[in-house]
Amino acid sequence: MSEKKFRSGFVAIVGRPNVGKSTLLNKILGEKIVITSDKPQTTRNRIQGIHNVPGGQIVFIDTPGIHRAKSQLNKFMVEEALSAVQGVDVILFLVDGAADPAKETGMIREVLAGVTAPVILVLNKIDLFPKSDLLERLLAYGDVFPFKEIIPVSAFSGDGVDQLVQLVHGMLPEGPCYFPDDILTDLPERFIVAEIIREKIFRLTHDEVPYSVAVVVDSFKERQDGLVSIQATINVERDSQKGIVIGRKGEMLKRVGTQARQEIERLLDTKVFLELFVRVSGEWSENSRMLKEFGYHS
């Protein structure tokens, strides 16, 4: 009997903002490596998640949501997403299953024009609409693009996710193990820490503030007693936003710091001392130098 071939490859997860791309990746990995919120455009960078299966390794690439970009930051985000569909082995195109398929047609065809990799349409959030509507939606999307498969899932509950992973694995070419089998991402700890802090601001503040925030980890040191000391700067664009992030008598910043520290401690499996600063960096989302400084560059 011949030995089973090892399959490996890169899989891009693309789609509109807030369709559940990051939630799906976290569910597949069984750990949270990508921040999530109910606000669109939470993910700003391409993020690789490494998933090992019997006989294979799948490197998933989570991407920012595709939207009509106006600011320099948003243009960077869309470029990150569109470039991710080039050179991968499989593309997962996520749509909100409850959305009107007719409104997705133009974007799907535009984004996938010219791609050569097989594309799986992932119909997410199937727990949010009647199952009696499922067949009609599947048929509607089948006319939009020659998808290799159309798979209904709920990234939130995990329904259909295992079947999706098995399908993806079967479509990958024979290849090497690209990463050690004991890591979930190739991201540095500093990046993940900054993202955790930014997520807490997304979840705890409102209106325009989350979209005007960039977090930079200034210092990350492990002391001899095992405690990790972290200093990070929260950059905002206006004084009014600084006031909101700090809050009355510093209460908001304290909440952000407490929630972020608790999650960072779970991530690093050690005690953490987290010190946060807030700085006004005027119009940073339109400033090429600042965008590069804050990590938003190709």
Return the axis-axis angle of helices 21-29 and 161-171, rounded to nearest 10°. 80
Positions of the chain with pLDDT lower than 50, given as ranges: 1-2
Q: Which residues of 174-209 are buried (b: 16+ CB within 10 A; e: fewer)?
A: eeeeebeeeebbebeebbbbbbbbbbbbbbbbeeeb
Domain 7-171: which CATH number of 3.40.50.300, 3.40.50.2300, 3.40.710.10, 3.40.50.740: 3.40.50.300
Fold classification of 189-293 (topology level): GMP Synthetase; Chain A, domain 3 (3.30.300)
| Annotated domain spans of the chain | 7-171, 189-293
- pLDDT tens string 230-282: 999 999 999 999 999 999 999 999 999 999 999 999 888 899 999 999 999 98
- 7-171 against 189-293: fold identical: no
Q: Is the pTM higher than 0.85? A: no
